[in-house]
Amino acid sequence: MAPNGFFVSQTEDLQANMPVLQVGQHYFATDTQLLFVGTTGGNILVGPSQGIGPTVTVTGVPTVGQVPTATAPWSATWQTPASGGAAPKTARVAMGTIASATPSLVTAYTWPTAFADNNYTITGQVVIAETPPAGAATAIVCIGSIQLQASGVGFNFVVCNADGVPHNVVANFIAIHD
C-alpha cells in the first residue's frame, strides 16, 4: 500500500478482460488504448492514451442548427435542439438624428423570417454615427425599451438621447430563440 493509503498498481490486457479495480488501481486496455482507474464508484475511464482527458466521438453529419448531443459518456450525435436550433437573428436600423434630451418615436422592425414564437431573447445597443468631439465618447444614447410583436414576427423599440446635443444613431439588435 502506498504512503497515502491508496492501493496503486497497474495491469494491462484486453478491455473485455478488465476486472473490477480496487480504488487507485490502474488498468490499461491494450486493444483500445484506454486507461481506467478504480474508484469507490467503480471503474472509470481516465482518457485515451494520446490525450489529457476523455475524447467524445461525434457521429453523423450535421445540418444547419444542429448541435452535438451526448448519447453516452464518450459519444454524441448531431441533433436539433428542442428550441428548433434557429440561428441568431440580427438587425441594424439607421435611426437618423435623434434630438437632444428626447426619445425617438416608437420604431417597428419586422424580421425577414419570423421566429416560430415569442420565446426569444433580444438585446440592443446604439452606435453614434458621428465622430465625437476631441475623441471623447461621453454621450448617453441608448435603447429605451423593446417590446416583442405577436407571433415572433418582430419588435418595437425606442431610442433615448439623454445628451444635450442631437446625435445621428444606428440601433443594432441580436436575438436568439430560447
Banded model confidence at residue 175, pLDDT cuts 50, 70, 90 = very high
Mind listing the pLDDT tens digit for each residue in 65-119? 777 887 777 778 888 766 555 678 999 999 999 998 888 889 999 999 998 888 8
Residue 86: predicted pLDDT: 62
By percentage, how much of the chain surpasses pLDDT 90?
Answer: 27
Mind listing the pLDDT tens digit for each residue in 30-45? 887 787 788 888 888 8
Q: Which is more confidently placed, 174 or 66?
A: 174
Average pLDDT, whole number, for the chain? 81
Mind listing the pLDDT tens digit for each residue in 135-148? 556 778 899 899 99
Q: Which domains does the chain have, with CATH numbers?
A: 10-79 (no CATH), 89-177 (2.60.40.2080)
pLDDT surpasses 80 at 3: no
Q: What is the mean pLDDT of residues 167-172?
A: 92
| Pairing outcome for strands 120-128 and 75-79 | unpaired
pLDDT surpasses 50 at 1: no
Banded model confidence at residue 49, pLDDT cuts 50, 70, 90 = very low
